Amino acid sequence: MTTVWAIGDNTIDEYVGALTRRHIGGNAVNVAMQAALLGADVHYAGAVGADDDGTAVLRALDEGGVGRERVVQDGSPTALTRIRVTETGERMFEQEIFGVTATYHPPPQVIAEATTADWVHLGMLADATRLRGELAAAGASALVTQDCAVSAGHTDLDIAFESAGEDLDRACHLAVTAIEGGARLAVVTLGALGATAFDGATWWQQPAAPAPVVDTTGAGDSFIAGFTLWFLEHRDVPKAMAAGAQAAARTCSHYAGWPQGDGRSYFNAMALAVEPEPPTLFSGADVNRPS
């Protein structure tokens, strides 16, 4: 069984406006929960407040089968993300209160335990570059990934995940920047356009998988989990992208980054059926932009 450590943020996603709901989210927690749903042995390290929201995060981790023995709970508030939903269904991130997550850095014990994992994923952290350096110095054999949309830096990084809306030019710029900064592979999600990936020599493009869209919150985090677990086993970028697209599509079909409340029946059906390998988009010397 693949062993995973997800380190970093958690938050309460509070929907206001045309829709009023509260869900648990945050990149690191969403990736952890999705990886557990896909059959991995997952541990989460982060910080929650000593409040009702913090207790709810801990309960959700327990229910999802994610180890939370290294979660810190203290007096600062649990993080909160307020999402305004318009009458047309558009989502706007209105406010983020980082709370106790703003200063979190994992202690040496977490770093030591994470070095033996198959995969370490970094979400939002106060100093992700420092942590990547500590993992490397400790001789970590794990594949190290990071959501570079919420944490900066590309050194000591195996896979940099980015997001660019539906802007292919920006996606190519982000991918090239990540590779030039030290990442070994860059994967950029493009919303309804799918995703692109670059390793310094070859570009790949993956269309979005069809889905009845209820809520796109956490879809990119699900892509990370689906992609990375497939990549760990097969080292095949195109099929890993297809796996990520399928995981993201499933998440779009329900509220939040994993099924919560009335969506929990989804826990009973999580298997990746990867389609045949999609074609390479392009390769060659032009690393700035696809032709």
- Please report, for residues 4, 63, 107, 146, 225, the alpha-carbon distance to residue 39 in angstroms, rounded to integers and kept in the order given: 11, 14, 27, 20, 11
Average pLDDT estimate for 199-205: 97
Judged on CB neighbours under 10 Å (0-12, 13-18, 19+), 62 is: exposed
What does the buried/exposed string (b/e) look like for 235-273 if buried means 16 or more CB atoms within 10 Å of the residue's CB?
eebbbbbbbbbbbbbbbbebbbbbbbeebeeeeeebebe
pLDDT for position 261: 67
DSSP three-state, residue 23:
strand
d(Cα 246, Cα 54) in Å, to the nearest integer?
30
Q: Name the least confident of 149-153, 212-216, 271-275.
A: 271-275
Q: Whose CA is closest to 224, among 200, 199, 241, 203? A: 241
Per-residue pLDDT tens digits for 232-277: 999 999 999 999 999 999 999 988 998 886 434 333 333 334 443 4
User: What is the arithmetic mean of pLDDT over 11-22?
Assistant: 91
pLDDT higher than 70, residue 144: yes
Structure tokens belonging to residue 284: 């060659």
Rounded Cα–Cα distance for residues 95 and 115 (Å): 35
What's the mean per-residue pLDDT of the chain?
Answer: 89
What's the rounded mean pLDDT across residues 55-62? Answer: 95
β-strands 11-17, 80-85 pairing: parallel
- Return d(Cα 169, Cα 175) in angstroms, integer: 10
Label each residue of 71-92 as H, E or C.
Answer: CEEECCCCCEEEEEECCCCCEE
Sheet holding 91-97, edge to edge: 21-25, 11-17, 80-85, 91-97
Question: How distant is the alpha carbon of residue 288 from its chain centre?
Answer: 25
Mean per-residue pLDDT, 190-208? 96
Q: How confident is the model at residue 46 (pLDDT cuts 50, 70, 90)?
A: very high
Tell me, what's the pLDDT at 89? 78
Angstrom distance (rounded) from CA 75 to CA 73: 7
Asked if CATH classification 3.40.1190.20 holds for the domain at 3-9+26-72+105-283, the reply, yes or no, is yes
Name the token pair of 132.
């990547």
Token output for 72: 């810190």
CB 186, CB 179: distance < 8 Å: yes
Amino acid, single-letter form, for residue 223: F
Q: Is the pLDDT of residue 38 over 80?
A: yes
Distance between CA atoms of 276 and 50, rounded to whole angstroms?
Answer: 48
- Mean pLDDT along residues 11-18: 92
